[in-house]
Amino acid sequence: MKFSGLLLFFFIISISFSTSFAQEKKMRKADASFDAGEYFKAIEQYQKIYSKASTKLLKAELGFKLGECYRKMNIPRKAEKWYKRAVRYKYQDPMAVLYLADAMRMNEKYDEAKEYYQEFSELVPKDKRGKRGIQSCELALEWMNNPERFVVTNVKALNSKQSDYRPEYFNGNSSLYFTSTREGSTGNKFNNNSGQNFSDIFMSMKDRKGEWSHPIPIKGPVNTEFDDGATSINSDGSEMYYTSCKVIKSETVGCQIYHTTLSGGLWSSPELVPLFPDSSISVGHPAISNDELTLYFVAETEKGQGGKDIWKAERSSKGGAWGKPVNLGKKINTAGDEMFPYVRDNGEFYFSSNGHIGLGGLDIYKLAKKEDGSQVVENMKSPINSPADDFAIIFERGKDRGYFSSTRPGGRGNDDIYSFYMPPLVFTLQGTVKDDATENPIPQAKVKLVGSDGTSRETNSGVDGKFKFKLKPETDYIITTQKDRYLKGKAKESTKGLSKSQEIVVDIFMSHVNQVIEIENIFYDLNKADLRPESTVALDGLVEILNDNPNVTIELSAHTDFRGSEKDNLDLSQRRAQSVVDYLIKKGINPNRLIAKGYGESKPKKVTRKIAAKYPFLHVGDVLDEDFINKLPTQEQKEIAHQINRRTEFKVIRTDYQESGIQFGG
């Protein structure tokens, strides 16, 4: 090699080494920003390195780190983009696959997310997050298509183009505290962590019309130049716990919980609430219990379940020292993040998590009690939860309404405050009284509604036979109808177990006293008069009719087909009719109200509209006598006709029966 060639070779090596060294220096600087929580700053640094990256290995690493920045800043659309690149370039950490699936789920790409959760489960079989992710994707659409009854509304008066979150009631429900990064805060400086201003605690008051005033920072030395917020105020509004996160240059100082008291309309100088001996452990999101003896909070330590966990500290008296922190355990905490604990005035515990089965990012959960006394974590489902982050719920005292925070689309900023309320359940009964034989409406029938709560109401059916009642939740109802020359009608409905408002529709059929009524589903053994056990359901229905109409006397008739001798058929039908009468007597019906009559084959059935609708080869008015049946083209049709003829019926013969035995009328 010539001397000039050697110079060129060493020059190229020198340039390559210099470029590599410079790239490593930039990477260390970007990693330092990331480790300090300055994700916004780290993104800019990583992207510059990525634009000049020449190897798939480096692109995979940078893709993952950029995805991590956007994940921690809660920008799932961009997080998905970079995690996808990391996976495409074969990044070795399986967490890239999990986080890609998480981002896709938050972006409502449930089918694609499910595939990546499956891949993660195969890579790390023991990690439950893969299987939970698959379940979440399967349930998310079901929950969104069948939402709970809550009504959710963006509270525009409280929200800005920046982040507004973690509402808290103050002074009853007339004032609201919340955390915001909007303009006008004490920490009106750019935060390289969030890409927004530092947050402060703001307040808004409700006027006589129920409108919220323009939010202003709270008074007192609570708000600082750093992040302050996530408040929890005791029941009488005299004490407040909140989170403050200091940032000193590029050093990670972390968050701590502070306590302050209200005096003369001003909050006092805050005091640190010592919880862990190790001051480097970051804690936040305080929630004081109603009795003020338990403080719930969030921390991320090596002794947790993974990610951010919810802990608690207890004390024996108000103003006393807090005891040793206790992790709430695996029922609440997962390998993901659990945050924003909240204790409702009735003692119910709520929190947000991205580790339990949910619709997307953070979902809001409730710790509910089962019938056996055990506790179970319940997702609050849609519309409280969405594919985005939903967190920091609060309830108005004694009411199923309140506020929560969400990053769902359609808001003004990244985090917005939403109101919610549970509308009352509305049940209506829409009924029609109809003639059993003709199905025509029966006007001016007396309709009575009796509830299991003791209520009783009456109305009359209209010219179209219709009537309407409002019903109460968790109540059983009996509806009876009555009109001259008709047997009373009856129906039973219930609102018990119904979780959504609805209109219940019912038709109540009434039989005219001149009508012969077939008792369906009465069965006997072949050529025998003994009732088969399955006949009791229909006969018990007849018992109920007779009890509802105590003034009627009936003839109970049995019929056979024409096969066999006329004498045998007559005898068999009489014995069968008597079997039914005997059953009714055993059930408490006075024998004076019952007449057994066997007609054998002498009264073949005349086809009704109901029979014709069931069997197309028969027509209304056809009489199923021997001549008609013998002309039917198939044996199957003949057997059906014979079966129709074999029936048990009743008809009203008197309507003036009295228990005293005295009869009136002719």
Length of the chain: 666
Residue 370 pLDDT: 80
The pLDDT of 418-426, averaged and rounded, is 95
Residue 234 counted as domain residue: yes
Residue 17 counted as domain residue: no
Mean pLDDT (the chain) is 91
Domain that holds residue 65: 24-145
The total number of structural domains that make up the chain? 4
Report which listed range, 27-36, 88-97, 411-420, is most confident.
88-97
Residue 83 counted as domain residue: yes
Please indicate, yes or no, whether residues 502 and 521 belong to a single structural domain of this protein: no
Cα–Cα separations (whole angstroms), residue 205 to 173, 178, 182, 208, 218? 9, 12, 18, 10, 12
The pLDDT of 544-570, averaged and rounded, is 95
The domain that holds 140 is classified in CATH as 1.25.40.10
Q: In what order do the strands lie in the sheet with 594-600?
A: 517-518, 647-654, 553-559, 594-600
Torsion region of 633: left, alpha or beta (phi above 0 gives left; psi -120 to 50 gives alpha): alpha
Please indicate, yes or no, whether residues 345 and 466 belong to a single structural domain of this protein: no
- The answer, yes or no, to whether residue 18 has pLDDT greater than 70, is no
The domain that holds 483 is classified in CATH as 2.60.40.1120
CA distance 344 to 394: 7
Q: Which of 395, 421, 447 is the last residue of a domain?
A: 421
Residue 626 counted as domain residue: yes
- The answer, yes or no, to whether residue 13 has pLDDT greater than 60, is no
Please indicate, yes or no, whether residues 358 and 470 belong to a single structural domain of this protein: no
Residue 224 pLDDT: 92
Beta strands in 282-389 (DSSP E): 283-288, 294-299, 309-314, 326-327, 338-343, 349-353, 363-369, 375-379
- The answer, yes or no, to whether residue 661 has pLDDT greater than 60, is no
465-483 pLDDT per residue, tens: 999 999 999 999 999 999 9
Please indicate, yes or no, whether residues 589 and 500 belong to a single structural domain of this protein: no
Evaluate whether 442 touches 463 at the Cβ level (below 8 Å): no
Find the range with the poorest average confidence among 14-18, 20-24, 268-272, 606-610. Answer: 14-18
Reported confidence tier of residue 637, pLDDT bands at 50, 70, 90: very high
Angle, CA of 500, 501 and 504, to the nearest 5°: 115
Closest to 84 (Cα-Cα) out of 35, 54, 119:
119
Please indicate, yes or no, whether residues 627 and 501 belong to a single structural domain of this protein: no
Query: In this structure, which amino acid lies at residue 607?
Result: V
Strands 502-510 and 427-435: parallel
Residue 9 pLDDT: 46
298-340 pLDDT per residue, tens: 999 888 888 899 999 999 999 899 999 999 999 999 999 999 9
Reported confidence tier of residue 193, pLDDT bands at 50, 70, 90: low
Q: Residue 580, class by beta-carbon neighbours within 10 Å (0-12 exposed, 13-18 middle, 19+ buried)?
A: buried
DSSP 91: -
Reported confidence tier of residue 660, pLDDT bands at 50, 70, 90: low
Residue 602 pLDDT: 96
Evaluate whether 285 touches 297 at the Cβ level (below 8 Å): yes
Please indicate, yes or no, whether residues 409 and 522 belong to a single structural domain of this protein: no
Residue 10 pLDDT: 47
Threshold 0.85, pTM exceeds: no
Find the range with the poorest average confidence among 2-16, 104-118, 633-647. Answer: 2-16
Residue 304 pLDDT: 85
Q: Which of 145, 162, 192 is the last residue of a domain?
A: 145
- 251-256 contacts at long range (C-beta below 8 A, 24 or more positions apart): 251/36, 252/35, 252/36, 252/37, 254/280, 254/281, 254/282, 254/283, 255/227, 255/282, 255/283, 255/284, 256/282, 256/283, 256/284
The domain that holds 365 is classified in CATH as 2.120.10.30
Find the range with the poorest average confidence among 54-58, 339-343, 557-561. Answer: 54-58
Please indicate, yes or no, whether residues 173 and 110 belong to a single structural domain of this protein: no
- 238-242 contacts at long range (C-beta below 8 A, 24 or more positions apart): 238/262, 239/288, 239/292, 240/267, 241/273, 241/286, 241/287, 241/288, 241/295, 242/201, 242/270, 242/286
Please indicate, yes or no, whether residues 405 and 431 belong to a single structural domain of this protein: no
Residue 21 pLDDT: 61
Residue 569 pLDDT: 96
- The answer, yes or no, to whether residue 282 has pLDDT greater than 50, is yes
Cα–Cα separations (whole angstroms), residue 660 to 193, 581, 656, 657? 92, 21, 11, 9
Q: Which of 129, 145, 161 is the last residue of a domain?
A: 145
Reported confidence tier of residue 20, pLDDT bands at 50, 70, 90: low
Strands 251-263 and 338-343: unpaired
- The answer, yes or no, to whether residue 14 has pLDDT greater than 70, is no
Residue 9 counted as domain residue: no
Please indicate, yes or no, whether residues 489 and 407 belong to a single structural domain of this protein: no
CB-side neighbour CA atoms (13 Å) of 490: 14
Angle between helices 3-35 and 56-72 in degrees, nearest 10: 20
Residue 410 pLDDT: 86
Please indicate, yes or no, whether residues 390 and 486 belong to a single structural domain of this protein: no
Residue 109 pLDDT: 95
Evaluate whether 294 touches 311 at the Cβ level (below 8 Å): no
497-517 pLDDT per residue, tens: 998 899 999 999 999 999 999
Residue 666 pLDDT: 38
Residue 16 pLDDT: 47
Residue 328 counted as domain residue: yes
Please indicate, yes or no, whether residues 97 and 227 belong to a single structural domain of this protein: no
Reported confidence tier of residue 362, pLDDT bands at 50, 70, 90: very high
Please indicate, yes or no, whether residues 244 and 294 belong to a single structural domain of this protein: yes
Residue 561 counted as domain residue: yes
Q: Which is higher by pLDDT, 16 or 526?
A: 526
The pLDDT of 163-167, averaged and rounded, is 96
Residue 664 pLDDT: 43
Q: What is the CA radius of gyration of the chain?
A: 38
Residue 659 counted as domain residue: no
